[in-house]
Structure 1
Amino acid sequence: MNIKKYLILMLVSSALFLIVIDMTVLYTALPLLTQDLQATANQKLWIVNAYALVVAGLLPGLGTLGDYVGYKKMFLIGLTIFGGASLLAAYATTSNILILARVFLAIGAASMMPPTLSIIKLTFIDAQERTLALGIWSAITAAGAGLGPVIGGLLLRSFSWPSVFIINIPVVIVVLVLSIMFIPNDQVKKTGRWDFVSSLQIMVGLISLVYGIKAVTQQHNTVLISILAFVIGVLAITWFIKRQNNLENPLINLKIFKNLNFTSGTLVAIVTSFVLIGFEYILSQRLQLVLDLTPLQSGLSIMAMAAASLVGAIVVGMILPQYGLFKLQCITLIISFIGIFLFYWVLDMNLLIQIIILMILGGGLGGAMTLASNAIMTNVDDKESGMAASIEEVSFEFGGSLGIAILGGLFSALYSLSFEFTGSAINLSKAKGSLDETIMQAEQLSPEVSKQLISAGKVAFDHSFSLIIMIGSLALIATILLIIFLNTREKKISHY
């Protein structure tokens, strides 16, 4: 066993862990953060969503840049930016400053995420070792999203919300120093010039599309804004595709999507991240605001799903060579569907039963995410590993961003529509924005009216959450059917 290999895996995995938990660590801090910064429902969504949105937009360009300048260099640059942005976020005094800090965090994350995969691929030459390493990487991706609320809960038990960002800084320093010492300098894989224009096109396209989706789900945004964002996004991506087809050295080689395994991996990465991040975003708030758990109790409840994700990811990575990609993709997605569908029926049951169902969901999603990473990274040449890594990361981050934008946005809209209260002594327009705002309005009322208002908010929350669960279930079923269709079509083509 080569200890240095696994030290390198530990270093890039530690950086990845910071990136992933930064997506969800705010979930347990949101109620406190919202009150401290007086954030509106829209600002709250942007505080969470700006990170994933910007990461998704920058990944295609910054990911492929590593193929030209070196993966270690990109990793170290991204790590440094991430550390500085964490410091800015910790000392944010307004919601807008915090949103800005989250944008800089996203720039750092987008710079160092793809190199983590490329470094793993170049470090682990043996196929079995590489599969195990990618399984561990995927397990950290799956488990990190669930551990974020736990870490947030532990920190909030003794400190205020800025601590969820301050904790990044010492980890960044240690990983930075050790990475300089132990990660070898890699040779540049591609010659020629990195295409800035293509990078700009895909960034504008992805961000505009997600913003357009987000705008549709916001009650106060006009239809014109949504349409304009969609038009800009579609045009930018169309120009990007045309440019890639005409370039000798494209930013992203679109021909790779003709590979069924690569395409199915990309699809599974988007959908699993969509379901996981969107579901956890709402669930973490429900545990605190509806079930009245502390941030730590909420985080520990979600940790069960994270632990199951970790186990599912590692087990699937180990049995992949024996059972094959297609069969395991279907199995893990079916398990995920069973988990989220059953959760619909246990919303009013004992918390322990809910946690058991969450573990089923987590195990399925963790396994599916491992398969997605393997399908993407093992179907390209080493010289294009940066490109493949950027597509893999875009899939996960874009899916997570869509999860928060679509599921989070729809949830907010459904909450307002479901909220029913006949009292006249309150500002219903504010109380109907979110359960956080309902509770803030309730604090200004008499105990009896306050109790009635909060009760109405909790009923509206669970009604809206039930509908979101059904949407997540349908997304998983649709993905299973699409993968079966693609596999059947591929077999027919191969037969002829």
Structure 2
Amino acid sequence: MTPQTSNRWLFLAVISVGLLMISADNSILFTALPALRTQLHMSELEGLWVLNAYSLVISGLLLGTGTLGDRIGHRRMFEIGLVLFALASTLAALAPNVGVLIASRALLGVGAAVMMPATLALLRITFQDVRERNLAIAIWGSVATIGAAAGPVLGGFLLEHFYWGSVFVINIPIAIVALLATFLLAPPNVTHPTQHWDLLSSVYAMIAMTGLVLLIKEVAHPSSIWLALGLSLAGSLAFWLRGRRQTQPLIAFDIFRNRLFSAGVLTALFAMFTQSGVMLVTTQRFQLTEGFSPLQAGLLTAVAALAAFPTSLIGGIFLHRVGFLPLIGGGLSILAAGFFCCYLGAITDTFGVFILGMLVAGVGAGFAMSVASTAIIGSAPRARSGMASAIEEVSYEFGALIAVAVFGTLLAALYTASSGQDASFAEAVDAGAFNHAFEWLLAFAAICTLAGAVITGWLLRDNPKGTAYDHE
């Protein structure tokens, strides 16, 4: 029996387990940062790379691993990704120093980049009915949202009961169980040996992103900023020139002429950027200035996750009735309102208002992100489905990558400006200065998300209710 019949929803659960690990590892270290700074004597810059090495490698490699999956088979890619993830998790859990931990996080990124496109490709193979596929994609998207939001909770729970490496150990049995289930439930592996795979373009993309992260981090240091800018521009130019010479580039930029496709990409970027940034600074603030334990700080993000899950499902179910505009534009507007409510709670020191803001933000994120993936994948021509899947996944990962760089850099800069102290949070923290920086960043997140709502609302002004696949 294949997943195309009665097992297809069970196989979706297996795919979701893999995706849950990938998305949770984006944020699982948010609550662990204070412990890592103390136990591994980690600097702020090293902390940035412990967080960003994972997303950076994923964002760079994802553009190419989708086509590699077409070449050797998506089931095989999913299996390879699970094995790499388990091995990298073992290495990270045993890391004796920061350097090994960063390298392990990069290897985790390789495993995630290999596995992630396969989850979506296998989903599309398994679900042939358009409405079933939209619901399955909504569930897929909600799992990614919940994983990102639940990562700090899981990390906090493990840190309260075990040593810091336990946040990686937990991946090992999950990967093994998912691998065994894949052998039993996955469709047969289908290969296309003639499909072109371009590793060099992925490397150029990674160089460009590395330069961008360094540029954001070193913006206050003129001696380093030019090197970072040159690295980012050189990688971007090399990627663009190589793509122009190829008949099958990793990204054909004319795909963005489709307004529904572009709106989906921007929704993923804006929502993931602001949500990840707020989670990062929230978990830090409540641990460093309010005395919260890692678990207590992580539970704050669970509020948003709980609110996001039902609205994610609702978005997928009612998309064909209400259209993309109210779900994406409205969802981002609700997300912005939630962040503004968190801001009000922070400036008035009213914890209940802050929690209410997290709930509202979760509702908005669920609506918007549940259909963003459908907008991207469904509006692309079938001949470019692999490219669309890669861009969809990169949109989320790039949003998380830039969130850590931007929010981390702004937090340090605002803290230093307010306190007059170097932003080293391993020592005693000036609570007033930190809270002031936190308030500004909540306002910043609300404004960015509202801008995203306006832009996507304009792109979706004719309120499309279907996608290209509905007519093919």
Q: TM class, shorter-chain normalised? A: over 0.9
Q: CA deviation at 1:33?
A: 1.8
Q: Residues 284-329 of structure 1, C-alpha deviation per residue, up to 9 Å, x if partnerless?
A: 1112122211222222222111111212211111111111112321
**Which of 166, 169, 174 matches 2:172?**
169
Query: For 1:27, what is the secondary structure of its paired residue?
Result: coil
Q: What amino acid maps onto 2:426 in structure 1?
A: E
Cα separation, partners in 2 of 1:246 and 1:359, compared to 1, 3 Å: same
Kindly indicate whether residue 427 of structure 2 is the aligned counterpart of residue 438 of structure 1: yes
Q: Greater Rg, structure 1 or structure 2?
A: 1
Q: Residues 4-28 of structure 1, C-alpha deviation per residue, up to 9 Å, x if partnerless?
A: 1112111111011011111111122
Q: Is the 8 A contact 1:407 1:468 kept in 2?
A: yes
Query: For 2:31, what is the secondary structure of its paired residue?
Result: helix
Q: CA deviation at 1:383?
A: 4.9
What does residue range 315-326 of structure 1 map to in structure 2 within 5 Å? 315-326=314-325
What does residue range 156-195 of structure 1 map to in structure 2 within 5 Å? 156-188=159-191, 191-195=194-198
Q: CA deviation at 1:333?
A: 0.8
How far apart, in 2, do the equivalents of 1:9 and 1:213 lie? 38
Q: What amino acid maps onto 1:251 in structure 2?
A: L
Partner of 1:424: none
Q: Is the 8 A contact 2:341 2:356 kept in 1?
A: no
How far apart, in 2, do the equivalents of 1:32 and 1:195 lie? 40
Q: Is the 8 A contact 2:56 2:206 kept in 1?
A: no
Q: What amino acid maps onto 2:407 in structure 1?
A: L
Partner of 1:423: none
Moved more, 75-84 or 61-70: 61-70
Partner of 1:275: 274
Query: For 1:354, what is the secondary structure of its paired residue?
Result: helix
Q: CA deviation at 1:224?
A: 3.8
How far apart, in 1, do the equivalents of 2:214 and 2:129 lie? 42
Partner of 2:227: 228
Q: CA deviation at 1:489?
A: 9.7
Q: CA deviation at 1:334?
A: 0.7
Kindly indicate whether residue 36 of structure 2 is the aligned counterpart of residue 33 of structure 1: yes
Q: CA deviation at 1:60?
A: 0.8
Cα separation, partners in 2 of 1:135 and 1:336, compared to 1, 3 Å: same
Q: What amino acid maps onto 1:140 in structure 2?
A: V
Partner of 1:411: 411
Q: Is the 8 A contact 2:328 2:369 kept in 1?
A: no
What does residue range 302-381 of structure 1 map to in structure 2 within 5 Å? 302-347=301-346, 348-381=348-381
Q: TM-score, normalised by structure 1?
A: 0.88
Q: CA deviation at 1:189?
A: 5.3
**Which of 455, 458, 469 matches 1:482?**
455
Q: Is the 8 A contact 2:31 2:294 kept in 1?
A: yes
How far apart, in 1, do the equivalents of 2:453 and 2:70 lie? 33
Q: Is the 8 A contact 1:74 1:115 kept in 2?
A: yes
**Which of 203, 206, 231 matches 2:206?**
203
Moved more, 470-479 or 157-166: 470-479
Partner of 1:401: 401
**Which of 432, 436, 454 matches 1:459?**
432
Q: CA deviation at 1:192?
A: 4.1
How far apart, in 2, do the equivalents of 1:289 and 1:114 lie? 37
Partner of 1:261: 260
Partner of 1:67: 70
Q: Is the 8 A contact 1:72 1:115 kept in 2?
A: yes
Q: CA deviation at 1:239?
A: 3.5
Q: Is the 8 A contact 2:81 2:115 kept in 1?
A: yes
Cα separation, partners in 2 of 1:246 and 1:170, compared to 1, 3 Å: same
Q: CA RMSD in A?
A: 2.0
Q: Is the 8 A contact 1:69 1:188 kept in 2?
A: yes
Q: CA deviation at 1:404?
A: 0.6
How far apart, in 1, do the equivalents of 2:193 and 2:260 lie? 24
Cα separation, partners in 2 of 1:180 and 1:253, compared to 1, 3 Å: farther
How far apart, in 2, do the equivalents of 1:258 and 1:382 lie? 16
Partner of 2:469: none
Query: For 1:207, what is the secondary structure of its paired residue?
Result: helix
Q: Is the 8 A contact 2:340 2:357 kept in 1?
A: no
Q: Is the 8 A contact 2:138 2:312 kept in 1?
A: yes
Gaps of 5+ in 2: 465-472
Query: For 2:251, what is the secondary structure of its paired residue?
Result: coil
How far apart, in 2, do the equivalents of 1:76 and 1:276 lie? 30
How far apart, in 1, do the equivalents of 2:173 and 2:79 lie? 15
Query: For 2:218, what is the secondary structure of its paired residue?
Result: helix
Q: Residues 148-174 of structure 1, C-alpha deviation per residue, up to 9 Å, x if partnerless?
A: 111122212221111111011000111
How far apart, in 2, do the equivalents of 1:51 and 1:343 lie? 28
How far apart, in 1, do the equivalents of 2:461 and 2:157 lie? 48
Q: What amino acid maps onto 2:37 in structure 1?
A: T
Kindly indicate whether residue 141 of structure 2 is the aligned counterpart of residue 151 of structure 1: no
Q: CA deviation at 1:370?
A: 1.3
Moved more, 192-201 or 125-134: 192-201
Moved more, 332-341 or 281-290: 281-290
How far apart, in 2, do the equivalents of 1:246 and 1:49 lie? 31
Q: CA deviation at 1:272?
A: 0.7
Q: CA deviation at 1:382?
A: 4.7
How far apart, in 1, do the equivalents of 2:344 and 2:276 lie? 21
Q: What amino acid maps onto 1:279 in structure 2?
A: V
Partner of 1:296: 295
Q: CA deviation at 1:381?
A: 4.4
Q: Is the 8 A contact 1:214 1:409 kept in 2?
A: yes
Q: Is the 8 A contact 2:34 2:426 kept in 1?
A: no
Q: CA deviation at 1:85?
A: 0.6
Q: Is the 8 A contact 2:344 2:354 kept in 1?
A: no
**Which of 87, 96, 110 matches 1:93?**
96
